[in-house]
Amino acid sequence: MQTKLIIANWKSNKDIYSIKNWFEEISKALQGVQNLEIMEIIIAPPYPFLQMVKDEIEKHNLPFKISVQDLSSFPAGKYTGAVSGVNLKGLSVSHSILGHSERRRYFRENHQDIALKVEQSIEAGIKPVLCIDKSYLEEQAGVLKSEHLDKVIVAYEPLAAIGSGNGESVGQVSEVIKKVKQIYSSDTKVIYGGSVDEFNVNEYLLVSDGVLVGTAALDPIKFANIIKNYAT
Ligand code: PGA
């Protein structure tokens, strides 16, 4: 069985109290569940909670990795408010979610900014998860350095499917994934995001290398059910 990525994107939700509770609940819910090694389970908390999430993962002995939800397009230096790859050293951050449609929409990030973030992430040894909609998958690829095309994980996130409760049809997702592999590289992992939940996750995992989960990842029981449904 191929290892699948299961990414929890908490966006700008949660605080130290609810995170503590989330870990208590999920560790109870996953007790005795076998086969977790067939997944790469990755938690993407807001920045202030990276150390806490690292500690909670260790405390509960969970096989989870950590992602950031953004990264500076600049290296370390005089960039007030930015978080660079260097800042993340020692925090066990393995992945970065880059170019999420909410970053593009509310923070006006463009394809070029995101290509620079991809570069910074790769330089820091952090695997970029590059979010795209089908309307700009070629344009985004066009501004990436060619040697980065097989180093990103592409998250196909159709705008209409995000947070709507209406995921895209599996057939359509499968078509776009094929296209991504043609444009990026046949080795590029492509995951799907947009209203993934415990009921539809296995269908999406049949055609993709993983899923990016927003709303359903906020609830530890729902997220545990997503994991359990693939594990069993
Ligand atoms: P959703 O969010 O699961 O709530 O649709 C997905 C995402 O924005 O990554």
CA of 162 to the centre of ligand 1 (A): 5
CA of 194 to the centre of ligand 1 (A): 5
C-alpha 86: how far from chain center: 20
Q: Whose CA is nearest to atom 2 of ligand 1?
A: 214
Residue 16: pLDDT over 70:
yes
For residue 215 and ligand 1, the question of a CB distance below 6 A is answered with yes
Give the position, in ligand 1's atom list, of the atom nearest the Cα of 9.
9
Which distant-in-sequence residues (6+ apart) come within 8 Å of 51 by Cβ?
91
Tokens 């908390």 sit on residue: 45
Query: Looking at ligand 1, which residue's alpha carbon is closest to its atom 9?
Result: 214
Amino acid at 24: E
Active-site residue among 40, 56, 100, 168?
A: 100
State residue 198's pLDDT score: 97
Euclidean distance between CA atoms 79 and 22, whole angstroms = 33
Q: What is the DSSP string of 94-116?
A: EEEEES-HHHHHHS---HHHHHH
Query: How would residue 232 be classed by pLDDT, with cut points 50, 70 and 90?
Result: confident
Cβ atoms of residues 76 and 102 within 8 Å: no
For residues 192-203, give the mean pLDDT: 97
40, 56, 157, 198: the active-site residue: 157
Q: What tens digit of pLDDT does each residue of 68-121 get?
A: 999 999 999 999 999 999 999 999 999 999 999 999 999 999 999 999 999 999
| 18 pLDDT above the threshold of 80 | yes
Tens digits of per-residue pLDDT, 35-67?
Answer: 999 999 999 999 999 999 999 999 999 999 999
d(CA 70, CA 174): 26
Single-letter code of the amino acid located at 135: S
Asked if residue 122 lies in contact with residue 148, where contact means CB atoms within 8 angstroms, the answer is yes
CA 78 – CA 74 distance, rounded (Å): 9
Nearest to 141 by CA among 85, 182, 187: 182
Contact 53, 88 (CB under 8 A): no
- Ligand 1 neighbourhood includes 158 CB (under 6 angstroms): no
Helix (H) or strand (E) holding 39: strand 39-44
Helix (H) or strand (E) holding 220: helix 220-231
Residue nearest to atom 7 of ligand 1 (CA): 214
SS3 call for 32: coil
> Average model confidence (pLDDT) for the chain?
97
- Pocket test of ligand 1: the residue of 98, 154, 159, 162 to mutate, having most ligand atoms within 8 Å of its CB, is 162
Question: Which of 40, 46, 97, 99 has its CA nearest to residue 65?
Answer: 40
pLDDT of residue 1: 58
101 lines ligand 1 (CB under 6 A): no
Mean pLDDT of 6-15: 98
With bands split at pLDDT 50, 70 and 90, how would you rate the model's confidence at 30?
Answer: very high
Check if 100 is active-site.
Answer: yes
Burial class from Cβ neighbours inside 10 Å (0-12, 13-18, 19+) for residue 98 reads buried
Residue 157 among the catalytic residues: yes
Q: Which atom of ligand 1 is nearest to the CA of 213?
A: 3
Q: Determine if ligand 1 sits within 6 Å of the CB of residue 99.
A: no
198 touches ligand 1 (CB under 6 Å): no
Asked if the model's pLDDT at residue 2 lies above 80, the reply is no
